[in-house]
Structure formats: C-alpha cells, structure tokens
Amino acid sequence: MENRLSARQGMTQVALLRFLELRYASGYALSAGIVMSAALFYTIKGNIKMPLDSSTIRKLIIAYGEAAREHCIEVPEHIHPHMLRHSRAMHLYQHGMGLTLLAQWLGHAQLETTLIYAYADTEHKRKAIEQATPVNSPLRKKLNSSRYTITDDETLKKLYGLK
C-alpha cells in the first residue's frame, strides 16, 4: 500500500514544518537580538493582520466550547485555555509521562508546581499495581479488575450509604 498524505494532511504538515522553522528562527533571532516582525498566528481586524493575542484565543475557546456544549453535554460550562493545558498534562501523566518530564514540557521552573497534575485516579493506581506485581506472584490472580465492577443498583446504593 502506498503511503501518501491527503491534500489536507499535506497542508497541515507544511504548516507545522513552517511553524517549527519560524519558532526555531525566532528563538535564534531573540538570542541574537533580532526582532521578528511577522506573526505566525494572526487575526484580521478591519482588514489589518494583528497578532493573535491571549484575549482572542480565550474568546475563540469560549465560543467553540459553547457550540460544542450544544452537541455534547459533557463539555464544561466554563471552559478556558488553561483547562486545555491542564487536561493535556493530565492525559500525558496518566499515560506514563513522568513528573520531571511533564514539568519541563509545561515550562515549570519548580517540580512542586507540577505536583497538581500528580493526582492518580483509581484506574491509574490499578495499572501501576498490576505492572509492579510479578507474573509468577500468587497475588497476580487477585488483580482481576472485573471483580470490582459493580452494576447492581442495590449494591451501589449500599456502598454509597443510601440504603
């Protein structure tokens, strides 16, 4: 099978490569004291290209969040840019990225700042215990998570103290 990009994927790849090229160049330019004049991301206000600023990004995220909420009630009511950053960081942490690397990825100077992402849900803890238990251990057969899946409403009510 031939490995070809669709036209849209090709444009995305070109845009990403251009972004990385400009980002690298702007980092070099900043360290050399050169000022870059063209904004990579911009909005048009009154036929004038303006650099995309944080307030415009916030407005876009709020608008798209409200539109998404009309189709999916799970979208939070008060969505903001930092929520996306936090969600992505939690996703990376839950899929195995270490806190030190996560701190670097987020640009945190202190590891303590990153500890807010160290919340481990029950599934994360279960997987960690499963990975740490040797295959030949007698405890291994007790790790069956389906043993703890409760679908009976009466049992759930008892566990929550409602009955």
Ordered by start, the domain boundaries in the chain are 1-39
Q: What is the mean pLDDT of residues 26-31?
A: 55
Over range 142-146, report the average pLDDT.
Answer: 69
Report the C-alpha gap between 44 and 58 in whole angstroms. Answer: 16
**pTM (2 d.p.):** 0.48
Looking at residues 150-156, what average pLDDT do you find?
A: 70
Are 75 and 67 in contact by the 8 Å Cβ rule? The answer is no
Considering Cα of 85, then 91, then 95, then 98, what sign does the dihedral take?
positive
Taking only the tens place, the pLDDT of each residue in 53-71 is: 888 889 988 999 999 989 8
